Amino acid sequence: MLEQDNQGVSVLLLEEVSRDYQVGRERVGALKGVSLRVNAGEFVAVVGPSGSGKTTLLNLAGCIDRPSSGRVFLDGLRCDDVPESVLSGLRAEKIGFVFQTFNLIPVLTAAENVEYALQLRPQAPPAGERRKRVAEILERTGIGPLARRRPDEMSGGERQRVAIARALVGRPRLVLADEATANLDGQTAAQIVGLMRELNEEQGVTFVFSTHDSRLQGMAKRIVELRDGLLRGGRSC
């Protein structure tokens, strides 16, 4: 059974979450009791130096990893202790992911990459509705004219726009972007974060993105800072 978050529905709630890794004989504490609440409509940057735990935090938030201790709630549902078979449906329905390396399918066009994300959803819309939604989101992310290109026929910034369209087409509750701009030049990186922020404001999509780039932090509505697996300033609920 999925347990309810009884503190009011937040899009994401981490309660005293820790994640240890076993490296040889040593246990490395990547996160050490982090509590974080993210409400609908927030635009949050997770910042901190390399190795501070940003990727670990986003992987736990996206239920692609499980905490060593603590609890994770997604849209009010506890998800750290449910079977993978339930989790994959929950992830497909509620979360959009944007990755540093874009992770587009090389043999598919931009439009097909975005549509594929819709086909994976537990209740995939019919073909006509899918095409309409794909065309709308590609237009909005500035990829309309490039819809029939494959990833190797696009620049890094264009590929990341396709990845953002793919993350958003299913109308997720939460978009998680881990170092999504790390492979882009400074100007393109700022444009991509700017696009995410516009989508946040226009469509109310909740974003949590990580970056080690201090220039991009200023574009966030809220900054959560990690140092050595701990939230700076203590709890951020």
Ligand X SMILES: Nc1ncnc2c1ncn2[C@@H]1O[C@H](COP(=O)(O)OP(=O)(O)O)[C@@H](O)[C@H]1O
Instruction: Please give the residue ranges that form the binding site for Mg ion (CB under 5 A).
Output: 54-55
Least distance in Å: CB of 65 to ligand X? 9
Structure tokens at 67: 């905490």
Of 51, 49, 14, nearest in space to 30 by CA = 51
Least distance in Å: CB of 193 to ligand X? 17
Sheet holding 12-23, edge to edge: 26-38, 12-23, 69-74, 77-78
Strands (E), 1-49: 12-23, 26-38, 43-47
- Strands 12-23 and 69-74, bridge-based pairing: antiparallel
Instruction: Tell me: does residue 24 bind ligand X (CB under 6 A).
Output: no
**Phi and psi angles of residue 79, each rounded to the nearest 5 degrees, phi first:** -130, 5
Instruction: Tell me: does residue 28 bind ligand X (CB under 6 A).
Output: yes
Which sign, positive or negative, has the C-alpha torsion 81, 84, 88, 93?
negative
Which residue in this structure is represented by tokens 């899009």? 11
Binding mask 41-60 for ligand X (x = CB under 6 A): -------x-xxxxxxx----
Q: How far apart are the first and last CA of the chain?
A: 25
Instruction: Tell me: does residue 23 bind ligand X (CB under 6 A).
Output: yes
Give the binding range for ligand X (CB under 6 A) out of 20-28, 36-44, 69-77, 99-107.
20-28
Least distance in Å: CB of 16 to ligand X? 17
Q: For residues 51 and 125, which CB has a smaller minimum distance to ligand X in the complex? A: 51
Instruction: Tell me: does residue 67 bind ligand X (CB under 6 A).
Output: no
Q: For residues 1 and 23, which CB has a smaller minimum distance to ligand X in the complex? A: 23
> What residues line the site for ligand X (CB under 6 A)?
21, 23, 28, 30, 48, 50-56
